[in-house]
Structure 1
Amino acid sequence: MKKKLFQSAAVAPDPRQWVGRYADYLYSYAVSRLEDEEQARDLVQETFLAALEKLADFRGASSERTWLTAILKYKIIEVYRKRNSGLLMQRVDQGPELEFFEADNGHWKEEFAPRPFGAEMADPTLRRELAAILQRCIQRLPALWRSIFSLKHLDDVATEDICRDLKVSPANFWVIIHRAKLNLRACLQKEGL
């Protein structure tokens, strides 16, 4: 009896269709996190190659796109790790800016919470403008901060995984996240939001 490779509800992957179906999406995903178009193109190609090598492991528990995106995420984390490996990993002291956040949950204290934008986000033009401004502000963060913030808030990677992958202690992680949020808040307010 043949072993079933794919769940009955799933469709077998078709690598011949990957470029047409997923290349643009994967490229956009990569370039939004790396801000390097050439590297994003390379990672998409590497993703397709890795997926071909692991094709027998695909069980159909997720869609092809989700599976390919997961492979790409790991490749992006590798880039972050390489970028940050040359940085001196020193303890980040908890500075006075932590007075802006609740000690128990890390959320903004009421008096320091960001003001509402006052813009209707249902408007696609405003959403695109905000996304562009936010992306510019994220790119202004130091490399390690940008990597940690992107993994946590764009890719929704677990804190423990980020700390392990980027070799950052949990205490440093939270200080970096807080400082990144403060910098992003200042940048967004400077941009007139």
Structure 2
Amino acid sequence: MKQQEEVGEHQATEWVNTHGDALYAFAVTRIKDKELSKDLVQETFIAAWKGFKQFRGEASVKSWLFSILKNKIADHFRRQKWSATEIGDYNDQDPFFDAHEHWAKTTSPKTWEDGADTLLENQEFYKVLDYCQGKLNTIQRAVFSLKYVEEMGTDMITDELNLSQANYWVIMHRAKLQLRACMESNWFITR
């Protein structure tokens, strides 16, 4: 038993040295909170160390650790108490649309001069996109990241975050509107 514990401790130390930075970077990009990211990575390593005996090696250690971290992040979002102001209720004061549900003149979509291929090659674009994602509220950032970064399906996201389908679509719609507005004011040159 003691020899098995020593092997587990040795493995855990190796995992921290080998995968700690990548796990931390992954967590920070998902939740935008450095201290919370450190805590979740630490919880990941503790869970991996405790579950070491059950690790069957069917996946790589790296994949296994990332899987644990993804679950820790999802658990964090599930524990959050989303207030009506954070999730947002539909109201008649929506700044993007007028009373007839048409685009407001000041917020209607603009033509972007840069093409998609140009944007994908531009590192500055990604910095601005990351900045704009950071301006979303917690639930919007979670929904948007799970959909477009993690490429999770809608059903899986609603299950993970305990959201109704209708609530998911409202949150996603508002996240996209806010991202578009932020990107237009911080990156795109409009005609």
TM-score (norm 1): 0.72
The answer to whether the aligner puts 1:67 opposite 2:64 as a matched pair is yes
- Take 1:144 and 1:59, find their aligned partners in 2: how far apart are those partners? 34
Q: Give 1:134's match in structure 2, choosing from 129, 134, 157.
A: 129
Counterpart of 1:150, as a letter, is S
**Secondary structure in structure 2 of the residue aligned to 1:156:** coil
Partner of 2:164: 169
The answer to whether the aligner puts 1:188 opposite 2:183 as a matched pair is yes
- Take 1:67 and 1:169, find their aligned partners in 2: how far apart are those partners? 29
The answer to whether the aligner puts 1:29 opposite 2:22 as a matched pair is no
The root-mean-square deviation of aligned C-alpha atoms, in Å, is 3.0
- Retained in 2: the 8 A contact 1:149–1:180? yes
Equivalent residue pairs, number: 167
- 1:51 Cα deviation (Å)? 0.7
- 1:191 Cα deviation (Å)? 0.8
Partner of 2:106: none
- Take 1:114 and 1:59, find their aligned partners in 2: how far apart are those partners? 52
Q: 1:99 to 1:56 in 2, by over 3 A?
A: farther
**Secondary structure in structure 2 of the residue aligned to 1:117:** coil
- Retained in 2: the 8 A contact 1:92–1:176? no
Q: Give 2:150's match in structure 1, choosing from 128, 133, 155.
A: 155
Partner of 1:120: 118
- 1:132 Cα deviation (Å)? 1.7
Please list the CA deviations of residues 93-118 of structure 1 after superposition, one character each: whole Å capped at 9, or x if unmatched.
49886979xxxxxxxxxxx6974634
- Take 1:19 and 1:185, find their aligned partners in 2: how far apart are those partners? 38
- Take 2:185 and 2:148, find their aligned partners in 1: how far apart are those partners? 21
Counterpart of 2:145, as a letter, is S
- Take 1:115 and 1:122, find their aligned partners in 2: how far apart are those partners? 14
Alignment gaps of 5+ in structure 1: 1-12, 101-111
Identity %: 36
- Take 1:35 and 1:120, find their aligned partners in 2: how far apart are those partners? 26
Q: 1:168 to 1:120 in 2, by over 3 A?
A: same
- 1:92 Cα deviation (Å)? 4.5
Counterpart of 1:74, as a letter, is N
Q: 1:183 to 1:59 in 2, by over 3 A?
A: same
- Take 2:26 and 2:111, find their aligned partners in 1: how far apart are those partners? 27
Counterpart of 1:165, as a letter, is E
